[in-house]
Amino acid sequence: MSACMCSPLSQSSPLTIRKSAFGFPSKSNLLTARSAVGEFVAEPKVTSVAEPLLLHAVRGEKVERPPVWLMRQAGRYMKSYKKICEKYPSFRERSENVDLIVEISLQPWKVFKPDGVILFSDILTPLSGMNIPFDIVKGKGPVIYSPLRTAVDVDQVTEFVPEVAVPYVGEALTILRAEVKSDAAVLGFVGAPFTLASYVIEGGSSKHFTKIKSLAFSQPKVLHALLQKFTNSMAKYIQYQADNGAQAVQIFDSWATELSPVDFEEFSLPYLKQIVDSVKESHPDLPLILYASGSGGLLERVPLTGVDVVSLDWTVDMAEGRRRLGYDVAVQGNVDPGVLFGSKEFITKRIHDTVRKAGSYKHILNLGHGIVVGTPEENVAHFFEVAKGIRY
């Protein structure tokens, strides 16, 4: 599908809220919205199957508004989550018990009715199933007890068999699908090979990534062997999540952007592409979303992975991001999570600005990274209310 930029971005046009008799924007309104954002695309198809809005949007079908969900929408900014944490202080317990996973995943769904319900879990959850013991410690974050540094360490990493290692993930996804029906898309997620490798080599979160870079730039073969293991495992994990109810899966490559472009091309991009190719072979219709925070310097390279959706962080202007990514790929994002600390008027303004710049085609409204601890819940409620009231 091809598209072109037809007119420069209008600075001040508010979103059109008028609807046709059928709830969809009339053709003239659609055109108004499109020319206002300076974007145009091939005629969208319309389908009648009851499917979540998010899936229609990703496929480039006609939708009346952008679907909306928020990264880290389940978590510590919610009082209900903090209550569960008091009763179950261990993160691993909260994320490895089917009932707790379902309950926590549904907390934001019950209050805000987002268009995507993401599984409550962590990118590190599969590690214990690959013989890499870890924990997530309050106040400290992820801890890998025996960081991997050598070829022998990498040899000890075992094959990941999701149905044996993390059966609670599949069970929870299946229950979530039954709970949210077609009112929202159930979203799974995995960590990208480079980001997972950074945790297991550094031993936890890192500032300068010196240990993984030391390996990359002195013994690249050892790092490549580990990246290949994670690639095979995460492809299987995505397939498992889809088979058990996930309707789209997001890949988090949170730290790939610590790499210079030439190193991204060696240590991240080929592995992401391998994952996408392998999943597309078995699940051609499963949308894959890629998030790499701070990816402004890499944007033109990101669609080369073959993902369906690129999740932008807020340091990239949405209109410029769209232009640089090309119009075949859908875009997600990208309101600064800090905006949720602003006034309600400011939040409204930023949502409209982002939606206008993204245009009415293939956009999922989201933040540019996860919700920050301390975000007022009422501002999150306001975000969803405004977002769901938008009409192209």
Task: Give dist(CA 293, CA 312) in Å, integer.
Answer: 7
Residues numbered 247-276 forming contacts with ligand CP3, rule: CB under 6 A? 252, 254
Q: Is 314 in the site for ligand CP3 (CB under 6 A)?
A: no
Q: Is 136 in the site for ligand CP3 (CB under 6 A)?
A: yes
Cβ(108)–Cβ(74) under 8 Å?
yes
* DSSP conformation class of 46: -
Nearest distance from C-beta of residue 61 to ligand CP3, angstroms:
25
Nearest distance from C-beta of residue 262 to ligand CP3, angstroms:
23
Q: Is 118 in the site for ligand CP3 (CB under 6 A)?
A: yes
Q: Is 189 in the site for ligand CP3 (CB under 6 A)?
A: yes
Question: What is the contact mask toward ligand CP3 in residues 73 to 112, using x (rule: CB under 6 A)?
Answer: xxxx--------------x---------------------
Tally of CB atoms within 10 A around 211: 16
Given candidates 370, 375, 379, 386, which one binds ligand CP3 under the rule CB under 6 A?
Answer: 370
Q: How many residues bind ligand CP3 (CB under 6 A)?
A: 21
Nearest distance from C-beta of residue 377 to ligand CP3, angstroms:
14
Task: Mention every residue, 6+ apart, whose C-beta is less than 8 A from residue 2.
Answer: 42, 327, 328
Q: Is 321 in the site for ligand CP3 (CB under 6 A)?
A: no
Q: 223 to each of 137, 214, 266, how far by Cα in Å?
A: 26, 10, 11
| Residue owning tokens 């925070």 | 293
* DSSP conformation class of 19: -
Closest alpha carbon to 311 in 303, 2, 120: 303
Q: 350 to each of 147, 335, 345, how far by Cα in Å?
A: 42, 7, 9
Q: Is 368 in the site for ligand CP3 (CB under 6 A)?
A: no
Cβ(36)–Cβ(358) under 8 Å?
no
Q: Is the Cβ of residue 140 or residue 181 nearer to ligand CP3 in the bound state?
A: 140
Q: Is 193 in the site for ligand CP3 (CB under 6 A)?
A: no
Q: Which stretch binds ligand CP3 (CB under 6 A): 27-35, 71-79, 318-326, 379-387?
A: 71-79
Q: Which residues bind ligand CP3 (CB under 6 A)?
A: 71-76, 91, 118, 120, 122-124, 136, 141-142, 189, 205, 252, 254, 293, 370
